[in-house]
Each structure stands twice: as structure tokens, then as C-alpha cells.
Amino acid sequence: MSVKQLLSGFAEMASRADVFGGTHGNLSAREGVFSMLIKPSGVPFREIREPCRALFDAKGEILQVIGGLNPSVDAPHHAKIYAKNPGIQAICHSHSKYVVAHAIGGYDIPCLSTEQADVFGGGIDCLTYSDFNSWGDQVANLQQANSAVLLERHGALTFSAVSPLDAVKLACRLEDVAEKNFLAEQLHRHPIWPMDQKEVMKWRVRYVEGYGQKK
């Protein structure tokens, strides 16, 4: 990924204060097999002119940071995820309202709608909080094809095999889904059962293979 691609992701984050308030959250992109570009720590999204570059080893341990600014405090977690998941090209971390409301309670986001089936292909898991330093390992060791995961008492991660901008847009869709699920539960005043997974996959395949101007 290029610096220009990552900056386009930061621009989108800056435009979505409803999902990325203040300097909360971050975005990174794989630059090479063992290198990544990532948000500087505490810098507002619209003020970022140059991301930090971090080199890491096969275990996901950061070896060197290049650039004058300190990288996001979550850089070690991103490095571990990239090291163990070669298909992931970008990671977006968010602390949006309805997503965090689910995460605080340790609640998964079950697939209740065809919209969620289209975009995420099923429910979103919430990983149980372990300790301050371990969530990067927890996510990196997940054996699932999901493009998003919640972190108990913390927030969410979305993953893209395409681009940083795609990872940001997934974070926005995740917040939208979380809000709609919450409102549906309040409206109906009783638990809503998740969609049958076979039916979920019909919607997902149609969306991935048939939606838009595909040839």
C-alpha cells in the first residue's frame, strides 16, 4: 500500500466524526511482508501529512520505527495481526458509540439483517478481555474469515484485503449495523434470533459476486 492510499483513509475518518471522534481509533496498511504504515499517536486525522513506518519480524515484534513521530500505541497489536495473517492489507480500529456499547457488555453482534449478511457474511464475534497487552495476539490467532471483530470493553477492528479506505468504510458499516440491531431489540422488546447461516451466505454471495458493475 502507498502513503497516498493511507492518507485517503485518514481523510474519510476525518469526515466521519460520528464514528471516529477526536483522535480515537487508528488505521494502518501493510507496506511489505514485514512492514506497515500506521497513524501517528494522538494526531487528528485531518492533520496527518505523513504516517509512521514500522518494521516487524515474523512473530510480529516491532524492530524499528521510521519517522519523526511516535506511532499509534496500538502499533504492536497491528504488527502481530499482519505477521500472522498475510491476506490482511489494512486494519481500522474504532471506538464508535454502538459498537463500544456492545463491546462493554461483551456482546457479539448477531446477524439479524440481510444488510449485515451482505457486508459481513454473518455475526461479529466479541473477544473476551484478557489483559492490557494481549488483544493483538488474540486477534492474530483467530481462525476465521470475518472482516470485523469486537474487543470486550474496548472497541472494534475491521480488516480489508483491498485498501485502508475499504477498512474505514467497513468500520462505518459496522457502527451502522450495531445501531440498527440495538434499535430493533428495543423496538421488539424481546431477543431477535439470528438469520440462518445458509440464508446469510446466499445474501453474502450475491452481494460479493453480483452487486455493482462487475463483469
Instruction: Please give the angle made by the CA atoms of 28, 33 and 38, to the nearest 5 degrees.
Output: 15
Report d(CA 155, CA 191) in Å as an integer.
23
The pLDDT of residue 163 is 96
Rg (CA), the chain: 17
Q: Which candidate, 169, 185, 65, places its Cα nearest to that of 113? A: 185
Share above pLDDT 90 across residues of the chain, in percent, rounded to a whole number: 60
Lowest mean pLDDT segment, chosen from 83-87, 96-100, 130-134, 182-186: 130-134
**Strand ranges (DSSP E) for the chain?**
26-32, 35-38, 52-56, 62-66, 90-94, 126-127, 148-151, 155-160
- pLDDT beyond 90 at 209: no
Tens digit of each residue's pLDDT (9 = 90 or more) over 10-22: 999 999 988 998 7
The pTM (predicted TM-score) of the whole model is 0.88
Cβ atoms of 38 and 54 within 8 Å: the answer is yes
Tens digit of each residue's pLDDT (9 = 90 or more) over 151-200: 998 999 999 999 999 999 999 999 999 999 999 988 887 777 787 888 88
When pLDDT is cut at 50, 70 and 90, the band that residue 213 belongs to is low
Mean pLDDT of the chain, nearest integer: 89
Cβ atoms of 104 and 117 within 8 Å: the answer is no
When pLDDT is cut at 50, 70 and 90, the band that residue 24 belongs to is confident
Report d(CA 111, CA 124) in Å as an integer.
8
Report d(CA 64, CA 67) in Å as an integer.
10
Report d(CA 30, CA 37) in Å as an integer.
6
The pLDDT of residue 215 is 58
Q: SS3 string of 41-66?
A: CCCCHHHCCCCEEEEECCCCCEEEEE
The pLDDT of residue 197 is 87
- pLDDT beyond 70 at 32: yes
**Stretch 122-141: mean pLDDT:** 80
Q: How far is CA 209 from the centre of its chain?
A: 22
* Beta-strand relationship, 52-56 and 62-66: antiparallel
**Stretch 141-145: mean pLDDT:** 60
The pLDDT of residue 137 is 75
The pLDDT of residue 182 is 93
